[in-house]
Every structure is written in structure tokens, then in C-alpha cells.
Structure 1
Amino acid sequence: MSNYIPPYAITSKILLLTNEITEMITEVSSIKKDRTTPILRKKNRIRSITGSLQIEGNTLSEEEVTALIEGKRVLGSVREIEEVKGAIKSYELIEEYDAKKLDDLLLAHKRMMGGILENAGHFRSGNVGVYGKEGVSHVAPPPYRVPELIGELFDWLGKTKEHPLVASSVFHYEFEFIHPFSDGNGRIGRLWQSVILGSFRDIFYYVPIESVVKEHQKAYYEALEAAGSVGESTPFVEFMLESIHQSVKEFLEEYQKSDHKSTLKSDQKIYELMKEDRTITIKELALRLNMSESGIKKMINKLKKEGKIERIGSAKGGKWEVLDEV
């Protein structure tokens, strides 16, 4: 066990954001897996995967990622499709990883990058640099130091008493500074922050923080560079807490809307789900509403007769047209 403590400072901004986020998640501490709708969990997982990959330059959209998850064919480069498939595999285990176990992080990297890298799941053997607009913005530590540095970081994570919101952000920065892999460091760093937060509160397994970071991608890289310039992770911690704050706020707004649907009649629930996903199938509707497919078809016919929906295209490749408010 080492005595390493990553350099950072607890600012008034960090304290304020930590308190506000904690208050928000305390208000919904009763939200568990069985109380979040499957469609919301699936939607947010897709947003996490898409956002994290798009930060790295992947051009596939949420719709295309959804199609790959459902086993459908998607047009795109071999590498982009492999990146999505790897991310899907890695995020599938997000609730099973032990945030404090290095072996689990290596497994996540192997699943994430297995279709792209020959040495997936293993530390890099060469020198790497992080490139910005003006050239190399960060030269990572030499490869022979990586096992020691990562070991020290996990030792710190295992014994720190710091609030998980702060600790996860510090870990994220330190991980990117070490840059332990030849590729995939950014996406694993973002995934592992969610793993750390999920071990603190289940809600974070479903909060798409990566999507918000993508929306502020320039600020994300600026925060990394600012932290490197001052020699401590404080600027990056502040940025990540702002992103988490926004992510939780948006999640709660979505949850409240989905929770409202639980009081609706069956035909209204179907109508709302079709508004969210125009390509949703009868089978998916039956699974999400715990109804028989024949019951779903009966409600769909009712909505059609009322002039509220139409089917455009075939049963397999078509979509729903929502025509009027229920």
C-alpha cells in the first residue's frame, strides 16, 4: 500500500456542486432499478455509449447505436462499428465491475477495445502523447512507470474518505494523466467514473454523464489542459461536477415524465412510448408494459380508429406517425 495522495484542492465551487448534487439524488433515493422504466434505462445507456464514442471522433448516431444493440445492420466504417460493439460489451457489465479492482478495469478495457487492439486489457509498452490544436499538450509518463502509478491510484481510491463525487473526478483526471493504454484511455476513464459513482448510488448507472460531456467537449479538453498546467486536478474536478450536476438534473426531469406515464391508461402509455420512439415494435411495447401482444394490438387499433396514430411503411421497417395529443 502506498501513501500517494493526488494533488487537488476543495474549492467553494466544488463544495457547492457536491452539496447540490447530493441533495438532488437524496430526493430520489427511492429510485431503484425496478422503478426506472426499461425504455429510460436503455435510452440513457445508449446516450452514454454514443456520447463517449463521439468525443473520440466516432460519427455513429444514437439511432445507429440503437440499431447495433438490436442486432441490425448499420452502414459505417469497420473501426466505428467495432468501437460501438466494444462499448456495448463493456457497458453491459457496468453494474458488475468493482470500482476498486484494477483487474475489473483491465477487463473493461479488453471488452471495450478487443475488436481494435491486439493488446487490449494490457498496459501500453510505448511512449504516448496527447495531442491538442497546438500539437502535443501532454506527454504521458514512460511505460515502465504505468503499473506503479496505476497501482498507487487504485490504492488511494480504495482508502480515500473523500466524497465519491469528488474522488471519481480526481480518479478520472489522474487516469487520463497516466494514460495507461495505447488507445481507449478517454472512454475507459469516463466509464470508470460512472462505475465509481454507481457504487455510491445506483442512480448513476443510468445517468448519461458522457452525453453531457460531449455537449461541452471543448470545455472538457480545456479542463484537462488547465489541470495539467496547474499541476492538480482541481479545474477538471470542477468541470466534471458541473457535468454531473446537469446530467442528474436532466435525468430527474426524464424520470418524472416517465413516472407520470405509470398513471396513464394502456392506450395512453402506448401513445407516449410511440412519441419517444417512432420505430418501437409491438413486441417491445408488450415487454415494457407487461401486456400481451394481442392486448397491444387491440390498443393500437383503438388509437388508429381515434385518428391518433398511423403506421407508415412495413411492419418490420416502418414507423409510427403520431397525429394528435391523447
Structure 2
Amino acid sequence: MSNQNLVETLNEYFSLGINQQLDYDKFYLYSIITHSTAIEGSTVTEIENQLLFDEGISANKPMTEQLMNLDLKAAYEQSFVYAKSHADISIELLCTLASLVMKNTGSTYKTIGGDFSSAKGDLRLLNVSAGRGGKSYLAWQKVPDRLQQFCDWLNAERKAVDKNDIHKLYELSFEAHYRIVSIHPWADGNGRMSRLVMNMIQYEAGVIPSIVKKENRAEYIQSLALSQENDNSSTFVEFMLNHHIENLQKQIAEYKASMETDEVKGGQKIVAGGQKKWSETALRILDLLKQNPKISRKELCEELKINPSAVQKHIEKLKEANKIERIGGAKGGEWRINE
């Protein structure tokens, strides 16, 4: 049933052209990063990350959290380079990505097994457990061999999987997520790394990457814990598949609402005689720009209750129609309305 739901949802997603929105890949990546770090405690919002990444505007949030997001962005960009080249997954490759994830927030450890640095992506030389009284992970001495087994398994599966079987491609990515987080190869950043590896596999396969939403953090952790307790990944894989379908369906609903899809083309309604009439959202943006020419994209998103990519799409359409123009840069500039 989930396979049918996945295919039907993806067909609608593509038929609406959601993946063809302006800067879709960029904004989608920002959403992935925001939610992945939020699961680890970051309070930086998606809009704040957009301003941080694109314009270098810092949020009024702890610097550690902002660095966590910047580091994860760099790691994702490198993972996409690997995915495009179809590079073999190796311990060295994984540790390189881990070093990017933890570059500015990692620590140096001094242990009986030796000194190591999570900021350099070193494999852990200590034993770890998940939370107080939680699951104890693999002894650190066994990590290298188990991680090599993981790499061998994943490289074989990537070659064997049917590239036309969307359901199997997603299952492989979720299984990889489960296996690497269960090994827990690093002292820090295992959650972010497991989600990154999952997304890298999806990116290589050309499918819509999964976002683990921060709102579903408890269910996500519980499904992982249940699978680890039973030594069976099926509970976790099923949760991830259903969660991905729900996220896509929500995006579809939000897209339809933001673009007023009843007879809307490119943000404009076609009325009698072929005359164009601007959608309510576009008119609302014009009104907000008139009220405050210095209004930011973040403030527009908050006022309109829609995502950054939808706001950007409307703004581009208004600019193309010469209804608005930007005077000055992102900092200190303002909008001019051309009546």
C-alpha cells in the first residue's frame, strides 16, 4: 500500500511542477539542513538559515547553532559532489564528510585508546550509549571493521538496486541510515551523518530527498529505538517511508494553497477574454511592499504563512511583469512599486 501511495504522491508532486520552482533545490536543501540540526537541538529557523547562507546575516541565536548549520551545509555540498561522481563509499569518504559536519563544533578527546578529534572526523576511541540508561553501541575497537562491512554492503547494493524501482531506492537509503547510526562510528554528529548519507543515496538516485521533520523527532527516535531493540530495521524503514510520503503530501497541499491553483498560471488567474488577474497572494505581497518598502523576505514569509520558495516565486513574477523592482542590495535596500 505504501508503495502505491509513494508512486501516486510523487506523480502528483512532479505533475504540479513543484520541483521546477525557482531555486527549488537550494530551498529544499535549506529545509533539510534546518530540520536535521533542529533534531540535534538547533533553534535556527529555515528563514534564518536562508539569510545566513545567502546573505551572511546572522540570526539572534547562539553562534554554536549557526556554525552547526553552516558546517552541515558544507558537508551536504561535498556529499553531492561525491554522489554526482558515483564515488565508492569508503571509511575515508565518510570521515571526510564527518569532519565537515563537525568542523566548528567538534571536540578533542583524550582516552585510553588514544587521542582523537571529532572536528577532524576521527572514528571514536571510546564507548558510547544513547542517553541516560540508553542503548550501548558497538565497542569502539570493533568500529573500523563494522564500518568497512557497511561500506562494502552499501557499494554492492547501490550497484544491484533497480534504478527504476523508486520504492526499493528509498528503502535502501533508509536501511543505510539505520545501519550507520546503529554502528555510531563517531563521538559526535552520528544523527546528522546518518541523515546525510541517506540523502546522498537519494540524490545519487535522482529521487526527492527525505526530510526528517523536527516536529516528528519523538516518533523518529522511537522507531529507531524499536528497530534497534528488535535488531530489525523494518519498523524504522516503514516509519521513514510513511513520513516521507506525508511530507510530500503536505508540500503539495501548501503549494496548491500558496499558488491558488484554481485556474492559476504562473501566479496569475486567467479571466474572461484572456485578461490576467493577479492572485490574492501576489496582491498581498504588493500591499506589504507598499506598506513597508524595506520589508525582508523573512517578514514576508511570516506575514503570508508560506515558505521562502513560494514567496520568491511570486516576487520573481512581479519583477518580470515590472510591477516591482529592487533598489539597493539585500542590506539597506528597498522595494519600489511601479504603479
Q: Same fold (TM over 0.5)?
A: yes
Of residues 11, 15, 20, the one that matches 1:26 is 11
Structure 1 segment 1-326 matched on structure 2, within 5 A: 16-29=1-14, 35-38=20-23, 40-69=24-53, 70-93=55-78, 95-98=80-83, 101-102=88-89, 104-117=93-106, 118-120=117-119, 122-132=121-131, 134-142=132-140, 143-161=143-161, 163-202=168-207, 204-205=208-209, 209-211=211-213, 214-256=214-256, 257-258=258-259, 260=264, 262-264=266-268, 268=279, 270-271=282-283, 279-280=296-297, 289=316, 295-297=322-324, 316=331
- From the superposition, tell whether residues 144 and 293 of structure 1 become closer, same or farther in structure 2 (CA, over 3 Å): closer
- From the superposition, tell whether residues 93 and 124 of structure 1 become closer, same or farther in structure 2 (CA, over 3 Å): closer
State the 1:100 CA deviation.
Answer: 6.0
| Aligned residue identity for 1:114 | K
Q: Is the 8 A contact 2:127 2:137 kept in 1?
A: yes
State the 1:105 CA deviation.
Answer: 4.1
| Aligned residue identity for 1:148 | Q
Unaligned stretches of 5+ in structure 1?
1-15, 301-314, 321-326
| Residues 22-44 of structure 1, C-alpha deviations (whole Å, 9 max, x = no match) | 22213444677972232x54443
Distance in 1, Cα, partners of 2:137 & 2:120: 21
| Aligned residue identity for 1:76 | K
State the 1:223 CA deviation.
Answer: 1.0
Q: Is the 8 A contact 1:100 1:158 kept in 2?
A: no
Please give the secondary structure, in 1, of the residue aligned with 2:130: strand
Identify which range, 224-233 or 111-120, moves more after superposition.
111-120
- From the superposition, tell whether residues 141 and 78 of structure 1 become closer, same or farther in structure 2 (CA, over 3 Å): same
State the 1:229 CA deviation.
Answer: 1.3
Unaligned stretches of 5+ in structure 2?
107-116, 163-167, 269-275, 290-294, 301-310
Q: Is the 8 A contact 2:223 2:239 kept in 1?
A: yes
Please give the secondary structure, in 1, of the residue aligned with 2:129: strand
Calculate percent identity across the aligned residue pairs: 22
Distance in 1, Cα, partners of 2:224 & 2:203: 23
RMSD: 3.8
Distance in 2, Cα, partners of 1:84 & 1:150: 27
Distance in 2, Cα, partners of 1:168 & 1:101: 15
Distance in 2, Cα, partners of 1:266 & 1:285: 19
TM-score by length of 2: 0.68
| Count of aligned pairs between the two proteins | 282
